[in-house]
Structure formats: C-alpha cells, structure tokens
Structure 1
Amino acid sequence: MFATYVVVTLFASTLNGSAAVANLIGHTYPKTQADLNRVPRSWVRPLGILLGAGAVGLLAGFVVPVLGVLAAIGLVGYFLGALGAHVRAGNYRLVAWALYFGAALAALVVALWRY
C-alpha cells in the first residue's frame, strides 16, 4: 500500500503544482476559467499560491506525515470552494474539476491511511 501512497501523492502534487505554475505565470487558461466562474482575475495568482502550497505540502508529507494530511485537507477544501464557484456561476463543465478534486481526495485518503 505504500507504493499506492507514493504514486497517488506524486500524481496529486504534480497536478496541483502544474496548475499553480499556470496561475502564477499568468497563463490564459486560469484567466478564462476565472471569467467563466465570475471570479475576479486578481484572485488568480493568490489561488495559484494556495495550489502551490498544497502541492509542496503533499510532498512534505513524505517527511512529516501530518503536513501531507493537512495539505490534502486544504486541497479538498479548495476544490469544494471551486465547485461552489462553478455552481454559483452556472458553469457545469466539471470534468477538469472532477480530476483535480478526485486527485486531492485520493491524496487525502492515502495520507490518512499512512498517518
């Protein structure tokens, strides 16, 4: 089961880390999503920082397991908030959201299992 923990954690960290980079460098995709979900563009970079912190926290969980659990909880909360933004804006294109949420939830499950 440890191999599952490693694979799931690395996948979730990579996924969220790449999203964080996209937000932080000002890529058009996060800006477009912000517009679709009626989120101010000024929030794109701070949200990217949160994603990056979650990605780093998942990796830190390899050394300090409680940090991995806390990071996974934070990412699950982040994506629940993103779901709320999607629903509020009437944007039901949730495939990408489901991928990110599923990865965060899986990371939480395996982190709790390890902890």
Structure 2
Amino acid sequence: MRHPNDNGFAERRLAAAEAKRQLLAKFASAPKATDPETQERLAARQAVAVARESRRAERKALKLAEAAMAVAAAEAKERKEAEDREAEIADRASRVLADEAARKAERDRRYAARKARQA
C-alpha cells in the first residue's frame, strides 16, 4: 500500500538540495568579519572582556591582601599568646622562688630560735 505523502527518492534529493542552497544563502548573507558593525561589536566584546579580567584581577588581589592580613593577625595573636605564656611561666617561677625563700627564711628563723634556746 502506498502512502499519499510518501516522497520518492528524487523528491527527497531535491528537498535536500534546496535546503542546502538555502543554508548556503543564509551564510552568504551573514555579516563578514571585515564589516564595520562586526568590527564594532567585536571591539565592544573585547572591551567587556578586558574590564571583566581587570575586575577579576582586583578581586584576586583583594583576596590575597585579606589573606595576608589574616595571616599577619594570626601570627600576631600567636606571638601575644606566646608572650603571655612566657610571662605566666616567669611569674610562676618568681612566685616559686619567693615561696622557697620565705620557707628558707622561716626555717632559718626556727633554727636560730632553737639554737638561742639551747645556749
């Protein structure tokens, strides 16, 4: 059984050739790279791309600066904590020495009092 819309080989071949001609005509009428409007659009795109890259570079520089500031702040905090620990250790050592000196003085006082009682 034949379909009424069934195209034969020759008709399909003519349709394909016509589609190819239309496609070629479309590309032939497209603006060329030497066209002033095309040059203008291309220049505008390049300007936008340059501006985008400069903004990207600025953001990157800002992020690097922020990271450097964060590192410097962390180092300063670590130095302060180390100084605080050293000060605490020095304070603790001085208190230990003072306590030992006080105990020795008390011991010497008791020893002197005992010797005084014996004599």
| Bigger Rg, structure 1 or 2 | 2
Same fold by TM-score, threshold 0.5 exceeded?
Answer: no
TM range (shorter): under 0.3
Task: Return the TM-score normalized by structure 1.
Answer: 0.25
Determine which structure has greater relative contact order: mean sequence separation of CA pairs < 8 Å that are 6+ residues apart, divided by chain length: 1
With structure 2 as the length reference, what TM-score do the two structures score?
A: 0.24
